[in-house]
Amino acid sequence: MIQLMSVNFDDYIPNWRTQLETIEYNVLVVVREGKVRYDINGEEIIAEKEDVLYIPQSTRRSGGNWKDTSHQKHTILFTLDRQGPTGIPFVDAGRFMKFNLSHIQYVYRRCERLYEEMRGGKSYRTLICQGIMQELIGMLARELEKNELAPSKRNYADTIKSYLVEHYREPIEIDRLAKLIHRSPSYAAALFKEVYGLSPIRYMHQLRVLEACSLLLHSDMTIAHIAHYLGYYDTSYFYRMFKKHTGLSPSDYVQQDDRSDISMLFT
């Protein structure tokens, strides 16, 4: 049974550091921005954006900002109340692990929700937090079960992803993505889905909808303006895509009480 101790969000803390000590708990670290340096049992570990670290109990650990820069990360401290093996290989091994996850944006949202639930006083808080934490551990275990990808495949997929992140507001054609890696369109689409779990076009829409959520909350742009800005020249089509990914219309999204959990974007 997982026993949560604390859930923290370090938001560009100047001079952040932790002292060198042998920890009596497990730590899950999810880096969102920047870099952070750890000393793990005498080995220097640099974690950066999209990295996930599992630091098991009894690890001798210290940490600090990397080269006087700051960072953003989620940190979850927990213990395991158990008499025998958990059945989760990386937990039972008791070794430090560094992960890259296919659905890192989804992990960010779950960490945000966990942080808010731990700080709140709503009913069934403990039950909800246990569920979120078990899901995160399960996702890490599942990721480790995947076959090791050839470095070339990862590089090809990362090339496509970088292009999508830079150009998601523009019309995206599979032929163009294929030319980036000098492969066929069918290969490029299948490869991206193998690595990231979704098609390039679906990923593009997720980037657009995520940006739309931010603009709806933090700008004075109209819905029609946001749609056009994000490359949806038919506002009704934008409405359909937004609802497909969030389950809500843009107006309903703005009006709902709890707008923090948009994890359905990344399922």
For the stretch 138-154, pLDDT in tens is 988 887 776 556 778 88
Domains, the chain, in order of start with CATH, read 2-145 (2.60.120.280), 151-266 (1.10.10.60)
108 near 31, Cβ under 8 Å?
Answer: no
Give pLDDT, residue 68.
84
**What pLDDT, in 10s, does the model give residues 101-114?**
778 888 999 999 99
3 near 80, Cβ under 8 Å?
Answer: yes
Mean pLDDT of all residues in 225-232 = 95
Give pLDDT, residue 263.
46
**Which residue is it, tokens 């079960």?**
145
Give pLDDT, residue 257.
59
Please report which confidence band the pLDDT of residue 166 belongs to, taking 50, 70 and 90 as the band edges.
Answer: very high
Give pLDDT, residue 267.
44
Backbone angles phi, psi at 227, to 5 degrees: -55, -50
- Please state which of the ranges 82-86, 160-164, 228-232 shows the lowest mean pLDDT: 82-86
Mean pLDDT of all residues in 149-173 = 88
Mean pLDDT of all residues in 62-90 = 88
Mean pLDDT of all residues in 78-101 = 83
Res. 235: pLDDT tops 90: yes
- How far is the C-alpha of 239 from the C-alpha of 193, rounded, in Å? 25
**What pLDDT, in 10s, does the model give residues 197-221?**
789 999 999 999 999 998 998 999 9
Q: pTM of this prediction?
A: 0.58
Backbone angles phi, psi at 28, to 5 degrees: -115, 125
Q: What is the DSSP letter of 266?
A: G
Give pLDDT, residue 266.
46
